[in-house]
Structure 1
Amino acid sequence: MDIKYVCCGLLGLLMLAGCDDSASPANVAKPLVLEGKTMGTFWRVSVAGVDAGRAEELRQKVQAQLDADDRLLSTYKADSALSRFNQSRSTDPWPVSEAMSDVVTEALRIGAKTDGAMDVTVGPLVNLWGFGPDKQPVTPPSEAQIAAARAKTGLQHLKVINAAGQQWLQKDLPDMYIDLSTMGEGYAADHLARLMTQQGISRYLVSVGGAVVTRGLNAEGKPWRVAIQKPTDRENAVQAIVDLNGHGISTAGSYRNYYELDGKRLSHVIDPATGHPIQHKLVSATVIAPTALEADGWDTGLMVLGTEKARQVAEKEGLAVYLITKEGDGFSVWMSPQFKTFLAGERN
């Protein structure tokens, strides 16, 4: 098998495109591949058994769907539904769509199960450290600034209200700033999967940033496979290969989205408990779940917790988790039993 790796996001995951060595290129089935940009990252759709004449129609529908998702969840667009909620200082219930309600409900559920490590109210801290719409700081924030930002956070200050077919968000801190970027890629990937089904397509791999969903078999009649990258920003080296079998996968890591300030590498992953970028040795957390939204929420929470606490949560919740930890000059790997069943070659 001649394996090729195709980057399907900014972090952590690679799509595998391979062909049998005995087959000539002319005889190898080719997927229809579409690509574009959204949410500050890239999207990719690979479908099998679909006529190439549908390419432009599908591309337009995919982009339109992702543009709509961006108008819902973006913190970079001042007129997005989320930005309007953030800009409001009202503590009254704020009407939102069912989609927004679902994303926040899932975020609050995972936040509770990670003891607040996955916290979508951490936006003020994300912005303070220069990983939001604001520019990077030229000096580290002071402890007073961090304390002031932390005072505007906390999952206990946010709730979702569902009544009579209507949904609302309510905050009890006027300055609360919700950042759903930790869930946005997973939400969008699930949305693309539903779009493919609506279009009568049953064999696909869709990805938005570091979140991927697959269904059916690829163009060669084999399982869609995804590779987990080794934790380096210099090469597309493969750490492990998984067969998603209709599930979603997402990876969070501290080795791609960062900047250096005063000689220190600062990760975009902020610990809500300290208000600082994480400092522990866990560098990558990959989660496979029934939906990409769920995987996208869990991977961030586990990254914040660090290796030992992440393992404890994975074991308690029965999660399919793959952790990579920096150890001296190399790395160590831990995977849950649930994750092992997804490794390519483990199923017979």
Structure 2
Amino acid sequence: MISSSIKWLALIGLAFFISSCSKPEPQLLQIKGSTMGTYYQVSYVLSAEQVSDNKLLTKQLQAKIDEQLELVNDQMSTYRPQSELSLFNKSEKELVVSDATIKVVSKALEIYKQSDGAFDVTVGPLVNLWGFGPDKKPNKVPSAALIEKTQQEIGSQYLSVEGNKLVKSKPNLYVDLSSIAKGYGVDAIAEFLSEQGITNYLVDIGGELSAHGTKLDDVPWTIAIERPGLGQNVQRLLHVSDNAIATSGDYRNYFEFDGIRYSHTIDPSTGRPIHHKLVSVTVIDKSSMVADGLATAITVLGPKNGLEFATKLKQPVFLISKEGDKFIETYTPEFEKFLVKEK
């Protein structure tokens, strides 16, 4: 009886010894939340050594990520009356703002110049006029006179950065960074994760992405370009590790009036929704902020001018145009290396 008890205790002790000596395994974790009027999702890999670090577990890490995203909203949201951007829009001339807001506006102005005005963060009054902003949708297409009048209220040439100040030369100028701020938010979270020592992650805010490293077992992050139209069909698969990606398209956000479809993307040069065959633009860059802004600019420029613009920049860009019932894809030479080869 004593001998059996000793053997049983010995087995328990051995099991405990084996258990205590077993090493933690790397883990793939995921955080989900909402921000900027859309969703966010962060997938990240912890090494065996990092698994025991409590501050890197999902609950603790999400609290820090939410803080980062709240800060971006407090800086750049037009839906928050006391955000830096809202206060600037209410001002008549200038406002001191954070380095982050200066960075985003400076990049917006750079893309504005590169694209000959196709990307314009002051286009908000026209967006509202056509019913795609927070204002109520119109019950008829705006008159040419009203469009022309509203066009006189916009123009990034009236916006500038002077040190840590945003400055406008038109008192009523209204700036909306929604076409580039999500990308900045992705970059901010990616930088934060890297600062925590996390080197393998995928950050997604409303479809704007940043991918670094790999998933578990060195499996690459795979990104899908959606085929425009109904359903969730995949046009192409990409491997974009250590890069950011943004997609712009007019196939989801639009309205129809008298049988005519009006896109949510406004061409500042005409004051009207874009009207061409380009329906989706995907841009790859080291910065999601840059990719976000360029995707919008190329969408406005259209299939021919957009491809020429991307080619001139030597930017990895993938375009989908609709011709009849078919979707036609074109892309710059720099994009090809990211495509997953079809088997």
Change (3 A) 1:130 1:289: same
Corresponding residue number in structure 2 for 1:9: none
Q: Percent identity?
A: 43
Separation in 1 of the partners of 2:258 and 2:219? 49
Change (3 A) 1:203 1:328: same
Q: Determine if contact 1:139/1:262 at 8 Å carries over to the other structure.
A: no
The answer to whether residue 253 in structure 2 is matched with residue 257 in structure 1 is: yes
Separation in 1 of the partners of 2:35 and 2:69? 7
Q: Determine if contact 1:250/1:296 at 8 Å carries over to the other structure.
A: yes
Query: Quick one: which amino acid aligns to residue 288 of structure 2?
Result: A
Q: How is 1:118-137 mapped onto 2 (pairs within 5 angstroms)?
A: 118-137=119-138
Q: Determine if contact 2:125/2:153 at 8 Å carries over to the other structure.
A: yes
Corresponding residue number in structure 2 for 1:15: none
The answer to whether residue 69 in structure 2 is matched with residue 66 in structure 1 is: yes
Aligned with residue 308 of structure 1, among 304, 307, 310: 304
Q: Determine if contact 2:222/2:238 at 8 Å carries over to the other structure.
A: yes
Corresponding residue number in structure 1 for 2:227: 230
Aligned with residue 190 of structure 2, among 175, 178, 193: 193
The answer to whether residue 88 in structure 2 is matched with residue 85 in structure 1 is: yes
The answer to whether residue 283 in structure 2 is matched with residue 280 in structure 1 is: no
Separation in 1 of the partners of 2:214 and 2:296? 29
Aligned with residue 331 of structure 1, among 324, 327, 330: 327
The answer to whether residue 36 in structure 2 is matched with residue 31 in structure 1 is: no
Query: Quick one: which amino acid aligns to residue 85 of structure 2?
Result: L
Query: Quick one: which amino acid aligns to residue 77 of structure 1?
Result: R
Separation in 2 of the partners of 1:265 and 1:67? 35
Q: Determine if contact 2:250/2:265 at 8 Å carries over to the other structure.
A: yes
How far does residue 231 in structure 1 lie from its aligned partner after superposition? 0.7
Corresponding residue number in structure 1 for 2:204: 207
Partner-residue secondary structure (3-state), 1:192: helix
Corresponding residue number in structure 2 for 1:55: 58
Partner-residue secondary structure (3-state), 1:175: coil
Q: Determine if contact 1:153/1:176 at 8 Å carries over to the other structure.
A: yes
Q: Mean Cα displacement is larger for which, 178-187 or 213-222?
A: 213-222
Larger relative contact order (CA 8 Å, sep ≥ 6): 1
Rg larger in 1 or in 2? 2
Aligned with residue 218 of structure 2, among 213, 218, 221: 221
Query: Quick one: which amino acid aligns to residue 289 of structure 1?
Result: D
Query: Quick one: which amino acid aligns to residue 307 of structure 1?
Result: P
Separation in 1 of the partners of 2:134 and 2:75? 16
The answer to whether residue 91 in structure 2 is matched with residue 97 in structure 1 is: no
Q: Determine if contact 2:119/2:296 at 8 Å carries over to the other structure.
A: yes
Corresponding residue number in structure 2 for 1:343: 339
Separation in 2 of the partners of 1:61 and 1:132? 30
How far does residue 260 in structure 1 lie from its aligned partner after superposition? 2.6
Corresponding residue number in structure 2 for 1:156: 157
Q: Between Structure 1 and Structure 2, which shows a larger proportion of helix residues?
A: 2
Q: Gapped runs of 5+ residues in structure 1?
A: 1-27
Separation in 2 of the partners of 1:186 and 1:229? 19
Separation in 2 of the partners of 1:138 and 1:64? 40
How far does residue 118 in structure 1 lie from its aligned partner after superposition? 0.5
Q: Determine if contact 1:75/1:133 at 8 Å carries over to the other structure.
A: no
How far does residue 30 in structure 1 lie from its aligned partner after superposition? 5.8
Corresponding residue number in structure 1 for 2:287: 291
Partner-residue secondary structure (3-state), 2:266: coil
How far does residue 222 in structure 1 lie from its aligned partner after superposition? 1.4
Partner-residue secondary structure (3-state), 2:125: helix
**TM (normalized to structure 1)?**
0.86
Query: Quick one: which amino acid aligns to residue 183 of structure 2?
Result: G
Q: Deviations over 1:125-166 (max 9, x none)?
A: 11111222212222222222211211011121111112xxxx
Q: Deviations over 1:74-104 (max 9, x none)?
A: 111212111111112x22x321111111101
How far does residue 31 in structure 1 lie from its aligned partner after superposition? 2.0
RMSD across aligned positions (CA): 1.7
Corresponding residue number in structure 1 for 2:243: 247
Corresponding residue number in structure 2 for 1:45: 42
Query: Quick one: which amino acid aligns to residue 300 of structure 2?
Result: V
Separation in 1 of the partners of 2:71 and 2:142? 34
Q: Deviations over 1:196-246 (max 9, x none)?
A: 1122211100011121001111123211111100011x2111111111121
Separation in 2 of the partners of 1:314 and 1:285? 11
Q: Which runs of 4+ in 1 moved over 6 A?
A: none
Q: Deviations over 1:258-310 (max 9, x none)?
A: 22333332211100011111111100011001100000010000000000000
Separation in 2 of the partners of 1:220 and 1:239? 26
Separation in 1 of the partners of 2:254 and 2:80? 22
Q: Mean Cα displacement is larger for which, 127-136 or 98-107?
A: 127-136
Query: Quick one: which amino acid aligns to residue 82 of structure 2?
Result: D
